[in-house]
Structure 1
Amino acid sequence: MSESKRQQKFARLLQKELSEVFQRDIKHLLKNTFVTVTSIRMSPDLSVAKVDLSFMLAPNPQQILETLNEHKSEVRGALGRRIGKDVRHIPELIFYLNEGADYASRMDRIINDLNIPPADEEE
């Protein structure tokens, strides 16, 4: 089942504002890690946001994810200060590690490191 326009609109708002929260409000928790909110999936009643995150410059992405989960109330509070006037309820946040970017980067490195001889002119 696809998301409604309302869910998509709210997800876009959260994506924008959460990105700001990570860059400005709670950067002290992230230890020089750049956090990208890759996608957000909203529950139909807008009470739960499943947030996919990607971390750049993180030596241990799982550790950063655990830190964010430990400080979820602080993240949610900062989000509330940003969008509280526009929405009735601040959704519960569930953070996920998006490993797609890491996987793509790893595959790129593997492909670039391959030693493929040039094709013969005759073939």
Structure 2
Amino acid sequence: METKRQRQVAKQIQKDLGEIFQREMRTAFDGAFVTITDVKTTPDLAIARVYMSFLLAKDKEGLLQIIRENTKVIRNHLAERVRHQFRIIPQLQFYIDDTAEYAQKIDALFANILIPPAPVDED
């Protein structure tokens, strides 16, 4: 169960990382639009798992690799923003959030289901 403090820290990290990706790190991603969809923190607030979605990205895995290589720089940008709010700056772990793509696949499956009409009862 997530505590109130974990939710507050995760929300702050999500907000600040979103701004970092849009302002400071924009040129590093070849024009791709990075959205932070969710952040989950461990109970000790030492690790933050960051889930991201990408728009206008040709190679999502390659972009994720670039982000993982720049984790130290991203963490330093985050530390500059939250140094007065957090005692410990969490280690960042980045993941691709594919829930939107999964939902589209499920919607497509439902759209292709053919349901025959119910038989008419003859009395």
TM-score higher than 0.5 here?
Answer: yes
**Offset of 1:103 from its aligned partner?**
2.6
* 2:48 partner SS: strand
Distance 1:54 1:107, change over 3 A: same
Scaled by the length of structure 1, the TM-score of the pair is 0.84
**Offset of 1:111 from its aligned partner?**
6.8
Is 1:9–2:3 an aligned residue pair?
no
Distance 1:58 1:105, change over 3 A: farther
> What residue ranges of structure 1 are gaps of 5+ in the alignment?
none
Is 1:45–2:44 an aligned residue pair?
yes
Deviations, residues 1-50 of structure 1 (Å, cap 9, x unaligned) = x1000001100000100100110111111111111111111011101001
**Offset of 1:104 from its aligned partner?**
2.8
**Count of aligned pairs between the two proteins:** 120
Following TM superposition, the consecutive aligned residue runs of length 4 or more in structure 1 with deviations greater than 3 angstroms are: 105-112
Is 1:94–2:66 an aligned residue pair?
no
> What residue ranges of structure 2 are gaps of 5+ in the alignment?
none
Give the structure with higher Rg (CA): 2
Is 1:65–2:64 an aligned residue pair?
yes
Scaled by the length of structure 2, the TM-score of the pair is 0.84
Please report the RMSD computed on the Cα atoms of aligned residues, expressed in angstroms. Answer: 2.2
Equivalent-residue separation in structure 2 for 1:54 and 1:86 (angstroms): 27
